[in-house]
Amino acid sequence: MLSGNSIYVAPTDQNEIRKIIDSLHPKKSLGHNQLSSRFIKKINDAIVNLISLIVNRSLSEGIALSAMKMAKVIPIYKSKDKEHFSNYHTMPSV
């Protein structure tokens, strides 16, 4: 039963994870996990099952790994005075 503070997210499967990995831009730069998206794309078939298991377990138990809670936010300058925070967009980076 869902309470007012709950949401339902359907379990994922290997096909959904494969599509997400395939949609990544093949960059050489490393993420916070020290892996490049180009490398992830190369090992897609070897990891897709494990990733779907981890995601589904996280959703079913309501627990997320600390590493999955990280985000790198990059301020993008818009215009005017560079000293004012309001003159920047913030864009999360993967």
Is the confidence at residue 42, as pLDDT, over 70?
yes
Q: Is residue 1 part of a domain?
A: no
Q: Is residue 4 domain-resident?
A: no
What angle is formed at CA 37 by the lines to CA 34 and CA 50, rounded to 5 degrees?
A: 80
Total domains present in the chain: 1
**Alpha helices of 1-94 — where are they, by DSSP H?**
14-23, 37-42, 44-61
pLDDT in tens, 4-24: 667 778 899 999 999 999 998
Domain that holds residue 77: 14-93
pTM, entire model: 0.62
> Residue 68 in contact with residue 48, Cβ under 8 Å?
no
pLDDT computed for residue 12 by the predictor: 95
Q: Note whether residue 8 is domain-resident.
A: no
- Burial label for 5, CB within 10 Å (0-12, 13-18, 19+), is exposed
What local confidence, expressed as pLDDT, does residue 71 receive? 72
Does residue 6 lie in a domain region? no
The answer to the question of residue 63 being in a domain is yes
Domain-located, residue 85: yes
pLDDT in tens, 47-74: 999 999 999 998 888 887 777 677 777 7
Mean pLDDT of 33-54: 92
